[in-house]
Structure 1
Amino acid sequence: MLFKTLSGRYQIVKHLGGGGFGQTYLAEDKQLPGNPLCVVKQLQPKATDSFTLEVARRLFDREAQVLYKLGNHDQIPRLLAHFEEDKEFYLIQDFIEGHEIKQELPSDKKFSETQVIALCREILKILEFVHQQDVIHRDIKPSNLIRRKQDGKIVLIDFGAVKQVSTHEGNNDGNTTLTVSIGSPGYMPNEQLGGKPRFCSDIYAVGMLGIQALTGIAPSQLPEDPATGETIWRDKVQVSQQFAQGKSILISLDTRNQKNLR
């Protein structure tokens, strides 16, 4: 793929990474002055038969519509283009110059209570917008949060795992359902592990990220209470009762997300 030009416009200059949803590249837009950088996400169907391609095309179009809507937020990358080429699908998004939040969370560093509150509030304000669009991100983690160099704000990236909620995708209880679980170990609550993410699943991930910042320990390395399954962390730090109960952060959430967090 290196130096390949897609859609006669986007020239690949660097491979950024990949996973179950495809590959991500850095590219130059050859049709704009200065050839600005952008991010290319290549989505690769598991098979290329006509039925699989049609299903992939429908899901790809729906995801592109969600990303286009979400890109109205200053702290979410804009969708610049989406197209199909040689039976593969491509999303073109803004390139966010900065560093991943995981670089701010080394194991030998612990955030103060005040710093964790500020971090979680900023992430939750972005999620408030995402959830208002009836979208669940499903993969909130330090590597999917970029500290933008331009202004120091956090940008939420990698919406490859987004789940759009609709009234046609619920069970008798009105809860959204999925056939697969998607996310990252340590940041996923039980309902998401079971393939049934909810809005509160994203909030849980933010909480685990906050605990990681506070303790200096990755969520997957923290012990669990065998009786309740709750993560054990309060014995590792000194925090206020209000903070431990989440009340210090609740004021940044809309009414729906406040109910989900309790």
Structure 2
Amino acid sequence: MVEAEDIIGGRYQIVKLIGKGGFGETYLAEDQHLPDNPKCVVKKLIFRYCDKARELFEREAKVLYRLGEHPQIPFLFAYFQEKQYFYLVQEFIDGLELNKIIEEGKNFSEFQVISLLREILEILVFVHQNQIIHRDINPKNLIRRHTLDPQLLEEVGDVKGDLCLIDFGAVKEVCQVDAQGQTQLTVAVGTPGYIPDEQANGKPRLSSDIYALGIMGIQMLTGVHPINFQEDPDTRKIIWRNQVKIRPELANILDKMVHNDWRKRYPSAIQALEDLEILATSG
């Protein structure tokens, strides 16, 4: 593990560990080569080194750099290898993770859910137009910039600032390449409860992101965490409509987003956004 005060890449001084998982570690750092030492995020990937892993890492770093052109996706400042580890250095998003707002047992209104889904889909339209799958849409990977004190928040609408989408899951696949250059799928990239079947089987689609986002919408309406959703034992369809009072048009959109068969979902963000826009303008 990298320690506080360590210098990575000759310029990024570690401040503290802010996240750790099976794929790597995430640190808050300061750039010592710029005035006022601005904060940044340093991600250290844990992987078995091979030429294939390096190739994938460089490819995904280039993807992140391109996606960082969007103002609501962290910009990639640098990527490099040091002591057999790969590192990414990205823009630090100062804000509040949505998982601090979307808590179990808390219900959101139809208006709030539609508003938030539209915000996220607007970012995903850019991502999907670049033929990129995020792979890990969930409340923890969405941050609202410049937030108020969480204790003062009563609804999503009280949070000021742009919503930002972070932590693209494709980079984590670098950590699943073995010494022979083969991808190991023993650990699914994604967050339990938000992963559709095809993604769990190592074949994610653009519509896999739509599934995860639909799950978030149902979570907000019902106040139930996805891992606790009830399913029909025969169809495996999520049972949730009996827990809320919303327009059937919104319920139909959400059911289409979370359909078990990826071919029956919205194929990408633009189609889902179009239906939500129509619903929002219809009152």
Give the structure-1-normalised TM-score.
Answer: 0.85
**In 1: Cα distance, 2:63 partner to 2:253 partner:** 30
Map of 1:106 onto structure 2:
103
Q: 1:254 aligns with which of 270, 273, 276?
A: 270
- Provide the C-alpha distance between the structure 1 equivalents of 2:101 and 2:226, rounded to a whole number of angstroms: 15
| Structure-1 separation of matches of 2:37 and 2:51 | 33
Please show how residues 226-241 of structure 1 align to structure 2 within 5 Å: 226-241=233-248
Please say if 1:225 is aligned against 2:227: no
Partner of 2:25: 23
- Matched residues in 2 for 1:115 and 1:256: separation? 17
State the Cα deviation string for residues 30-55 of structure 1 (Å, max 9, x = none).
01111000000001223xxxxx3322
Q: What is the rounded CA distance, in whole Å, between the counterparts of 1:216 and 1:106 in structure 2?
A: 7
Provide the identity percentage.
53
**Residue deviations 1:3-33, cap 9 Å, x none?**
1101211000100111122110000000111
Q: Which residue identity does 2:95 align to in structure 1?
A: G
| Residue type at the aligned position of 1:220 | I
2:280 matched residue in structure 1:
none
Q: Which residue of 1 aligns with 2:195?
A: 188
Query: How big is the shift at 1:160?
Result: 3.8
Deviation at 1:184, TM superposition (A): 1.3
Task: Tell me the residue number matched to 1:55.
Answer: 52
User: Offset of 1:254 from its aligned partner?
Assistant: 2.1
Q: TM-score, normalised by structure 2?
A: 0.79
- Distance in 2 (CA, whole Å) between partners of 1:156 and 1:144 is 6
How far has the Cα of 1:61 moved from its partner?
0.3
Quote the residue 2:249 is aligned against: 242
Count of residue pairs brought into register by the alignment: 240
Distance 1:188 1:160, change over 3 A: closer
Name the structure 2 match of 1:212.
219
Residue type at the aligned position of 1:161: A
Which residue number corresponds to residue 156 of structure 1? 165
Counterpart contact for 2:141–2:167, Cα < 8 Å: yes
Match of 1:201 among 188, 208, 222: 208
Indicate how the Cα distance of structure 1 residues 96 and 16 shifts in structure 2: closer, same or farther if over 3 A, else same: same
| Secondary structure at the counterpart of residue 102 of structure 1 | helix
5+ residue gaps, structure 1, are 47-51, 165-177
Q: CA RMSD in A?
A: 2.5
Q: 1:91 aligns with which of 88, 91, 103?
A: 88
Q: Give the SS at the match of 1:90.
A: strand
Determine helix, strand or coil for the equivalent of 2:108.
coil
